[in-house]
Structure 1
Amino acid sequence: MRIITVLHEQGPMNRTNLATAIGLSYDRAMKYLAWMSSRELIIIDDNGYVRLTRKDEETYTTLVQWVINYVSRLRFPRRLTRNRR
């Protein structure tokens, strides 16, 4: 989700800057990017710049809408306090 969000908000960026922006080591980020690329969610150009595909832009919109519809409606109970004697 962080990869999608960063690319959606900041646009295409090189792999090193993307890894830094999402808070992962370069090697770990490259594994996620390879997985996303194999599913045509991102494109990595010849210069090493990563951008979202149209498919991933739609995924981002769907995820955000899901969060708004379901997560924002969650109500968490107040913290229970213990009676002190």
Structure 2
Amino acid sequence: MNSREFRPDLYVLARIIEALVNNGPMKRTRLATACGLSYDKLERYLNWMIERNLVLIDGDGFVKLTRDGERTYDELVSWIKKYVGSLRISRI
């Protein structure tokens, strides 16, 4: 599936971003576990996020937020917490 056709769930994006904010850079397997995602689902989300400059994967394989990713935390995750109350963590 082309990541341009991929329509991400905003809650899942928020969970990925929040995990990186709370725990710092992480390897993909640990990040998938922290977010309650299967590894292949996480990869699909990361590819989408990389194309939009929200995250990057460094030479050691750690997923890191970019400045745009940090701003997304401030906007998206904060909005969800304020108006919805929490980020639901269900396995996908």
Post-superposition, which runs of at least 4 consecutive aligned residues in structure 1 deviate over 6 A? none
RCO higher in structure (CA 8 A, sep ≥6)? 2
Which residue of 32, 55, 61 corresponds with 1:19? 32
Task: In structure 2, give the amino acid aligned to 1:18.
Answer: L
- Residue ranges of structure 1 left out of the alignment (5+ in a row): 73-85
* Residues 1:3 and 2:25 aligned together: no
Which residue in 1 is equivalent to 2:65?
52
- Identical aligned residues as a percent: 53
Which residue in 2 is equivalent to 1:29?
42
SS in 2 for 1:16: helix
Q: For residues 11 and 3 of structure 1, what CA distance do their matches in structure 2 show?
A: 11
Task: In structure 2, give the amino acid aligned to 1:10.
Answer: N
The count of aligned residue pairs is 70
Q: Based on CA coordinates, which of the two structures has the bigger radius of gyration?
A: 1
TM-score with structure 1 length normalisation? Answer: 0.75
Which residue in 2 is equivalent to 1:82?
none
Which residue in 2 is equivalent to 1:39?
52
C-alpha displacement of 1:64 = 4.1
TM-score with structure 2 length normalisation? Answer: 0.70
